Structure 1
């Protein structure tokens, strides 16, 4: 337990963290990787370069400081991060390393303003916060390992099928190399792929949503190839999977993880909204509903540039034809001439509140969405615009948590 004195000091630093939080976390990662380069085998280098990871960490540190006297308020955030930590293999003995470098970064950025009292208070607070993460993650490791067909760490899976779904998205069907059972999962969860790529100095790990329903003898991930552009570098792992991994090759993956999951106990209608490769967890949810809750009405809404970029379209339309509880709507921002001639989409442009209002069954439904952050911001705003309560809105970021404000 923290003393009232320590809590008071931590609370007093909240305004400072609001201003300098990202500078502190950027400096933290610089120090961490300089002192412990082996951790570059764990962290996503692209997220570091784009500033996503430092910003996400700054938000967590700020939230922890603001709620230091009632840490139970941040447990939902802790669990979301803990799922990712478990899937990356983060261990309890790494937390002191993080703490040491975080305190050093605070001192380095704030200079004389970071008094001995402040550093001591943050050392104590970090110990308490870290223990919350360690305890939650220990339960997750145990649950993953003890589940039927479960395991700890990484397990080798063979790529039995590789299927091109669109111009940029390819599915990989994964079967355990040892021939034993695989653990179940909740629709919406993901696995981590560990890639040892020829020519790369470090191991690269990426999390990919499972894109089919649970209960099958394989896992399926559907990966978008991120090409190099003037705006940002391409995806090292996605390019490796698309260009170098073939059927028969072996990939090491973790047991499924993630807190963005379909609530199967909710019998109300469900609306699944996706943009681009954000459809992967939605396909898992859709396939699960069709099998396990065939009476539950589901509206599947997907946004893509055009039919060439639209993955799994035929499979979803087949489900809609054979299941009366399923309706589908397509929104294309840049339809081709062929798309227009074949009338292969329902709306041109982007998803808006007015359009959603006309196609969703009613406001009393569960809404799930995923996709690029600008897309998610628009959907979030649109759902609020038609009066959907925040409690019925569920979403997932691909990568570090961002803001939809």
Structure 2
């Protein structure tokens, strides 16, 4: 994939680029938004920009892709590329946006690294960029072609359900009265809203119903900020302002946390609002008449904070060979367990395929336990809400 000359140059300069990649991406976004302020206003997640999460994720993806190219010249990191492509497709990213990114990214590299960016170095890293960009463009093109929906579509909220103090479910039907396009259990949609300052912000929410429903259904947790991360703009807007009869813009469904046709034992592990794609996966397994073992693990602050708990328990109980392990930091009672998620004492049969969704520390801990129990790395799948910092921390 990468030419021999470029591979040698990238290998030699990867430590320097890697050490400065945080500065490079910070300068890149500053240049990009100065030239195209509409991208920050109407496309990029302003909260992730403010916290630095998006910069970290971009740095991690570039470094991971370049490292993979030099370490495995005959392979392409398709899992990483497909995850990014699904997110891009849900945002409506177009091929003509990639040259804009290239322009400002490479200007930032030149600014930060200075004279170290010789023509040979620039050519080698340009090759890396376009290998990654063209691969993403190709995957995104296929995703768009396979979609039953083109662009954004207006949907009317037909019901709102308060699941917990901080989580609400929104059920919507097409505003034009047309059919509901299909999706796969475990996928998400992008939701676009117009905020008070005129910005159009976009967020992704997992669909919480299996295919075949006459409605789109997703649950939203109100995001409260802290010293680093601001309050969630879109989640708080949806909680405060969106009621039955209101109209939202939704993308087509995307995402690759889907269970392929398999008779292998499954483990579905979630924490907090990460339960949302698991609910759809469980419903689909029930509809499919799944008979192979399914282990359901969930961790939360308390039973009261456990969104969609009734559905979680009900679907697992309907499986022919389903078992649950719920962990609560406080208020555990009955069969529930106290503390953080722990696979000790939980049967993990040989050949298990695992699907994880939740905060990064939770997923990292569960992944390490699964690896220690003999689950193959390729059989551990995950969904990250927000920028994929897992890539940035080298755990992919």
Short-chain TM bin = over 0.9
Change (3 A) 1:94 1:217: same
CA contact (8 A) 1:56 1:401 kept: yes
| 1:274 partner SS | strand
How far is 1:275 from its partner?
Answer: 0.3
Change (3 A) 1:68 1:333: same
Q: Deviations over 1:128-154 (max 9, x none)?
A: 43222222211111111xxxxx11110
Q: In structure 1, how many angstroms separate the alpha carbons of the residues matched to 2:367 and 2:65?
A: 25
2:193 is the counterpart of 1:195: yes
How far is 1:15 from its partner?
Answer: 1.4
Q: Deviations over 1:266-325 (max 9, x none)?
A: 112211111000000100100000111332332222111112201111223333444443
Q: In structure 2, how many angstroms separate the alpha carbons of the residues matched to 1:236 and 1:345?
A: 37
Q: Aligned-pair RMSD on alpha carbons?
A: 2.0
Q: Which residue of 1 aligns with 2:385?
A: 398
Q: Which residue of 2 aligns with 1:309?
A: 305
Change (3 A) 1:196 1:262: same
CA contact (8 A) 1:187 1:214 kept: yes
**Equivalences for residues 251-262 of structure 1 within 5 A:** 251-262=248-259
2:339 is the counterpart of 1:349: yes
Q: Which residue of 2 aligns with 1:12?
A: 12
How far is 1:101 from its partner?
Answer: 0.3
Q: Which residue of 2 aligns with 1:373?
A: 360
Q: Deviations over 1:79-115 (max 9, x none)?
A: 1111111110111111111000011000111112122
Higher relative contact order (Cα pairs below 8 Å, separated by 6+ residues) = 2
Q: Deviations over 1:337-378 (max 9, x none)?
A: xx5xxx245210111242xxx233524322111111111122
TM score, norm. by length of structure 1: 0.90
- For structure 1, list consecutive stretches of 5 or more residues without a partner in the other structure: 145-149
Larger CA deviation: 59-68 vs 254-263: 59-68
How far is 1:252 from its partner?
Answer: 0.4
Q: In structure 2, how many angstroms separate the alpha carbons of the residues matched to 1:189 and 1:63?
A: 25
Change (3 A) 1:68 1:268: closer
Q: In structure 1, how many angstroms separate the alpha carbons of the residues matched to 2:318 and 2:62?
A: 49
Q: Deviations over 1:131-184 (max 9, x none)?
A: 22222211111111xxxxx11110011111111111211111121111111221
Q: Which residue of 1 aligns with 2:270?
A: 274
Change (3 A) 1:66 1:393: closer
Change (3 A) 1:118 1:177: same
Q: Which residue of 1 aligns with 2:87?
A: 84
| 2:129 partner SS | helix
User: Which of 163, 166, 184 is matched with 2:164 structurally?
Assistant: 166
Q: Which residue of 2 aligns with 1:147?
A: none
User: Which of 210, 215, 218 is matched with 1:213 structurally?
Assistant: 210
Q: In structure 2, how many angstroms separate the alpha carbons of the residues matched to 1:152 and 1:10?
A: 39
Change (3 A) 1:63 1:378: closer
TM score, norm. by length of structure 2: 0.92
**Equivalences for residues 202-241 of structure 1 within 5 A:** 202-241=199-238
| 2:264 partner SS | coil
Q: In structure 2, how many angstroms separate the alpha carbons of the residues matched to 1:322 and 1:126?
A: 48
Q: Which residue of 2 aligns with 1:101?
A: 104
Q: Which residue of 2 aligns with 1:328?
A: 324
Q: In structure 2, how many angstroms separate the alpha carbons of the residues matched to 1:124 and 1:65?
A: 10
Q: In structure 1, how many angstroms separate the alpha carbons of the residues matched to 2:322 and 2:57?
A: 36
Change (3 A) 1:68 1:328: closer
Q: In structure 1, how many angstroms separate the alpha carbons of the residues matched to 2:289 and 2:188?
A: 22
**Equivalences for residues 282-301 of structure 1 within 5 A:** 282-301=278-297
* Residue correspondences, number: 389
- For structure 2, list consecutive stretches of 5 or more residues without a partner in the other structure: none
Larger CA deviation: 118-127 vs 237-246: 118-127
